[in-house]
Amino acid sequence: MVFDEADYLFELGFSDQLSKILSKVSQNRQTLLFSATLSNQISSFAKSGLKDYVYVKLSSEYTLADTLKLNFFVCREKEKLTHLIYILKELVKNNEQSIVFASSKFSVDFLETILRNFGVKAIGMYGKMDQITRKEHIMAVYFFSKNSSKAANIQHLSLQI
């Protein structure tokens, strides 16, 4: 069983539902809980609901590749899309790849369409995508990467937004 974005699930008020789920499933299972932060609520949930849990913390010195450059752009909410298009068309070199994260399937589809309309190679992927389409999209990413940088090597990733 996997609880991803656990901090967000608790923030949305799902703690009772998560506890109920744990009480209904087999105790003979592996459970993974991922969280960007470790609140008291998540810590209590782990101690009470998980058996023999192991706490793993990523050290900040190991979270970024040495070749990754970070830049921050401050803009108004309504200007985000314009800035994203500018960054991808003007600041990212043709042989570099970028990853843009979005919060929903709708946002992924919207961004993919808009970026393509502006001449940016874009391939959307999200969790509820069927397996055949997901494989096609992964192969398309690999195809683009064979013509530019290597998709399998994160060091060649130029921009993560």
Nearest to 22 by CA among 9, 12, 11: 9
- Residue with the two structure tokens 């992924």: 108
Backbone angles phi, psi at 57, to 5 degrees: -120, 130
pTM score, two decimals? Answer: 0.50
Query: How does pLDDT run along the chain (161 residues), one tens digit per residue?
Result: 777 888 888 888 888 888 888 888 887 777 777 777 778 888 888 887 777 777 777 665 556 666 666 677 888 989 989 998 998 888 887 767 777 878 888 888 898 899 999 988 888 887 777 888 877 777 666 554 443 333 333 344 444 44
CA distances from 20 to 15, 25, 47 (A): 9, 9, 15
**CA–CA distance, 126 with 110 (Å, rounded to integer):** 12
Q: Which two tokens stand for residue 96?
A: 């570099």
pLDDT digits (tens, 9 = 90+) for 13-24: 888 888 888 888
pLDDT digits (tens, 9 = 90+) for 130-144: 888 877 777 666 554
Q: What torsion do the CA atoms of 79, 82, 85, 88 make, to the nearest 10 degrees?
A: -50
pLDDT of residue 117: 93
- Helix ranges restricted to H, the chain: 6-11, 15-24, 40-49, 80-86, 105-117, 131-146
